[in-house]
Structure 1
Amino acid sequence: MAATAAGCQHYVRKCLLKAPCCEKFYVCHLCHDDEENHKLDRFQVREVKCAVCDAVQQAQQACRRCGVTFSEYYCDICHLYDKNKKQFHCQPCGICRIGPREKFFHCEKCNLCLANDLLGKHKCLENVSRQDCPVCMEDIHTSRIGAHVMPCGHLLHKTCFELMCRNGEYRCPLCMRSALNMEEYWEERDVEIAQSPMPPEFNSRKVKRQCNPALSQAVMEYRGKCVMC
């Protein structure tokens, strides 16, 4: 598969990877996976071909024949070639992340790199990043799309979360807890309720129903507001 000086739609690079599974050359593992009926394990890549002089050689950052630099960033573990996005290789994650490194920490329980502003402020779930996105059912851990951490601790692709919100769905697809801070929404509902008084015969009426945020069989006010949360 031919490469251009710019690489492919996924990465900016001047080389092609030799797939150890089928010994074909592709610009990246994603290009390979789109064409073949099997997946390329980029960790097993041993050889690359220069897109400038066609020299096949051991995986490295610069061509041994013409001297061209294959990419601004190179990881000799992931065999990731790309333009500089301040990437860093996270050993516990086992892959490269877009940085800079100093803005992230690795949560041992979640087994995931998270932004520093979530340190001590997120709910930990064991190996949460090793699950597929519950919206698109695609892998989250190795995805090039960033992950969105919800208050319940579950993860979605950021793009999937935005799509979910645009479609008027504000609950986690896995546990059904609120995915957003709903205080403003409830304040608006309180104003609407105040403008439409309850008929006297229903003032003390209550019902029982499951409250997802409280995760209990809560006693609910007739208008639907949980008395526990």
Structure 2
Amino acid sequence: SGEQAAAEAEAEAPPVVLKQRPVAEVETWTIAGAAAGGKRVLGCKHYAHACQLVAACCGKLVPCRRCHDEQVPMHTMTASAAMVCMKCGVEQPPGQKCVSCEATMARYYCGVCNLYDDDPTHAVYHCPFCNLCRRGKGLGVDVFHCMRCNQCMSLAISETHVCREGALDTNCPICQESLFTSSSPVRQTPCGHFMHSDCYTAYTKTAYTCPMCSKSLADMTIYFNMLEALVMAEELPEEYRDLAQEILCNDCGRRGSAKFHFVYHKCPSCKSFNTRVL
């Protein structure tokens, strides 16, 4: 019949593509491959993949969403209007395989996030609750989603995790990047605040108090004992020896009176030197 012939013709028709671009204009390479001096790998500094994305917001051709947000700081990329295969240069709707050369764009592809990642060492999954792709093997495998915190977390802390509603719906206090959408690992401090693990490591090289609440981030007993020995060995001018100062302890939150000193003041309640003069 005529309808059957039309259906067969439609099924055999080649897919419609938007346009062809020179391959040399769309090829980009991962930094890791170039640095190792080995075989070059298609992709960008964030992901390995064989396609470029056309940002729906501005039409800019970029390797990935993170590249777009770095190059165009005025706005963020939320979706891609099309993809361009780096192997044949054909622009087409986003997908895991090229409709022209049939090359696979990446091992992992998420149609919701338009995320491509071909790195075999990366485990990636899509969380339907966060509505984001995250690093990990998957919910119930090595991560769980805390409905109250509205965040995916490692199963290793599932028994000790303390919920804080909306705690991650904010920016890292160090780098100011969004914690909720960040692809970097997040760490919880003993006082219950959150920051990127890398930011925490860098910050605690020069500071020991939380940037949010000023509580000590670790057991500072040895350091405080050193300060006490220093204060005891220091001889103040006679006019200051009998003076006292009102202080507030950042660790226990109590007020008290401490012996006068130009820099260090010991909390009479918890013996911490993490205090401030009132």
Q: Same fold (TM over 0.5)?
A: yes
Alpha-carbon distance, 1:24 to partner: 2.7
Counterpart of 2:266 in structure 1 is 224
Give the match for residue 91 of structure 1. Answer: 128
Identical aligned residues as a percent: 30
Instruction: Give the 3 Å change call, closer, same or farther, for CA 207–119 of structure 1 in structure 2.
Output: farther
Matched, 1:181 2:223: no
- Aligned partner of 2:164 in structure 1 is 125
- 2:67 is equivalent to residue 68 of structure 1: no
Distance 1:100 1:221 in 2: 53
The residue number in structure 2 matching 1:51 is 86
Partner of 2:55: 19
Deviating above 4 A after TM superposition, structure 1's stretches of 4 or more consecutive aligned residues are: 186-190, 195-198, 205-208, 220-223
Match of 1:210 among 248, 262, 268: 248
Deviates more, 1:29-38 or 1:168-177: 29-38
**In 2, are the aligned partners of 1:211 and 1:226 still within 8 Å (CA)?**
no
Bigger CA radius of gyration: 2
1:92 to partner: Cα distance = 1.8
Instruction: State how many pairs are aligned.
Output: 222
CA distance 1:107–1:184, shift in 2 (3 Å): farther
Structure 2 partner of 1:35: 71
Segments of 5+ residues of structure 1 without an aligned counterpart are: 199-204
**CA shift for structure 1 position 218:** 3.7
Q: Give TM-score scaled by structure 2 length.
A: 0.69
The amino acid across from 2:212 in the alignment is: L
**Structure 2: stretches of 5+ with no match in the other structure:** 1-24, 29-40, 236-242, 260-264, 272-278
Alpha-carbon distance in 1 for matches of 2:155, 2:135: 14
- C-alpha separation in 1, matches of 2:257 and 2:145: 40
In the TM superposition, residue 226 of structure 1 has moved relative to its aligned partner by 4.9
Select 1:3's aligned residue among 1, 20, 27.
27
- CA distance 1:226–1:53, shift in 2 (3 Å): farther
Q: Which moves more between the two structures, 45-54 or 8-17?
A: 45-54
1:50-87, Cα deviation, whole Å (9 max, x unpaired): 11011222211111221211112111111110124111
1:77 counterpart residue number = 112
Match of 1:100 among 111, 120, 137: 137
- In structure 2, the CA distance between the partners of 1:188 and 1:90, relative to structure 1 (3 Å rule), is farther
Deviation at 1:3, TM superposition (A): 2.7
